[in-house]
Amino acid sequence: MDQRPIGVFDSGVGGLSILRQIRVLLPNEDVLFFADQVHVPYGPRPLSEVRTFAEGITNFLLEQCSKLIVVACNTASAAALHHLRSTFPTIPFVGMEPAVKPAAQTSRSRVVGVLATPATFQGKLFTSVVERFASDVTVLQQVLPHMVELIEAGNLDGPETQEIIRQGVTPLLEQGADTLVLACTHYPFVIPLLSKLVGHNVQVIDPAPAIARQVERLLKQHDLDAPTENTGRVTYFTSGDPERLSEMSLRLIGETGDAKQVYWRGECLHLKAN
């Protein structure tokens, strides 16, 4: 039993898609949710820069007594998961790995499309997942330019968002993809629009429920689960605008709380005094 919180982080509101599933599966766990919104988007940045951010955020979440860290960001996982595990060897980490495995197992056309940021495709993690799980499947890569910024701005189904998704998925469908993997944690918030555009015959894989199950498994394995009688609470932190994060959390996942302001000084994060 361990009453300390789980730390969850992303560049922005994308991590809320993971937080939502953690809350469903583990309602008795306290969670610290961190959004690095002063630096969003991470996707077009060099991997080394994202790695520096991820390490600074992990240090901050550990200072706030996190017992396990969820890197709720494919880009940060691609850039830093390996580094974080070796830098903090005693801390259990759950990271995002593009869900190419379930896609390869279930695709009937044997063509799978992966939607992610440029940095996620550059990382070794993506190549290794494809090599390990999809050697007998054609894996198509697609970036959705500016989609993260539009989702951050709350534009989930406007004309611009529709157009970017249409332009992104059309070539994948034309090449025979029957399965789309969402390999950016922002994208589950446009699933209603995406499903409408691609139709019922195309499977869309959101890895968030599987990530929550992995958190549950690791907590059990390390004997870190919170007491069952505990009512879990979420504390929100952002390096951007706290009011905006609170509003977006309510809108995107139907729950919120006062967000705390955090700021970067060099490579370290500090909580703003009230």
Query: H helices then E strands: how many in the chain?
Result: 11, 11
Could you say which residues in the range 171-190 bind ligand DGL, by CB under 6 A? 184-186
Nearer to ligand DGL, 22 or 40 (CB): 40
* Residue written as token pair 């992995």: 214
The reply on whether position 73 binds ligand DGL by CB under 6 A is yes
Pairwise CA distance, residues 103 & 235, whole Å = 34
Q: Which range touches ligand DGL (CB under 6 A), out of 36-44, 85-93, 190-198, 210-218?
A: 36-44
Q: Report CA 133 to chain centroid distance, whole Å.
A: 21
Active site residue 268: no
> What is the spatial order of strands in the sheet that 6-10 belongs to?
93-95, 68-71, 6-10, 31-35, 234-238, 259-265, 268-271
Pairing of strands 259-265, 234-238: parallel
271 strand-pairing partners? 262
The reply on whether position 60 binds ligand DGL by CB under 6 A is no
Pairwise CA distance, residues 153 & 150, whole Å = 5
Neighbouring residues of 138: CB distance < 8 A, sequence distance ≥ 6? 110, 111, 112, 175, 176
Q: Which of 31, 50, 184, 248 is catalytic?
A: 184
Rounded least distance, CB 196 to ligand DGL, Å: 22
Contact 262, 240 (CB under 8 A): no
Binding mask 113-132 for ligand DGL (x = CB under 6 A): ----x--x------------
- DSSP secondary structure string for all residues of 140-170: EEE--TTHHHHHHTT-SSSHHHHHHHHHHHH
Could you say which residues in the range 143-172 bind ligand DGL, by CB under 6 A? 148
Q: Which range touches ligand DGL (CB under 6 A), out of 40-48, 107-115, 212-220, 226-234?
A: 40-48
The reply on whether position 29 binds ligand DGL by CB under 6 A is no
The reply on whether position 98 binds ligand DGL by CB under 6 A is no
The reply on whether position 35 binds ligand DGL by CB under 6 A is no
User: Sign (positive/negative) of CA torsion 184, 190, 194, 195?
Assistant: positive
Q: Which of 35, 68, 69, 73 is catalytic?
A: 73
Q: Which range touches ligand DGL (CB under 6 A), out of 73-81, 99-107, 133-141, 232-240?
A: 73-81
Nearer to ligand DGL, 58 or 178 (CB): 58
The reply on whether position 207 binds ligand DGL by CB under 6 A is no
Active site residue 73: yes
The reply on whether position 239 binds ligand DGL by CB under 6 A is no
Binding site for ligand DGL (CB under 6 A): 10-12, 14, 40-43, 73-75, 117, 120, 148, 184-186
Enumerate the active-site residues: 73, 184
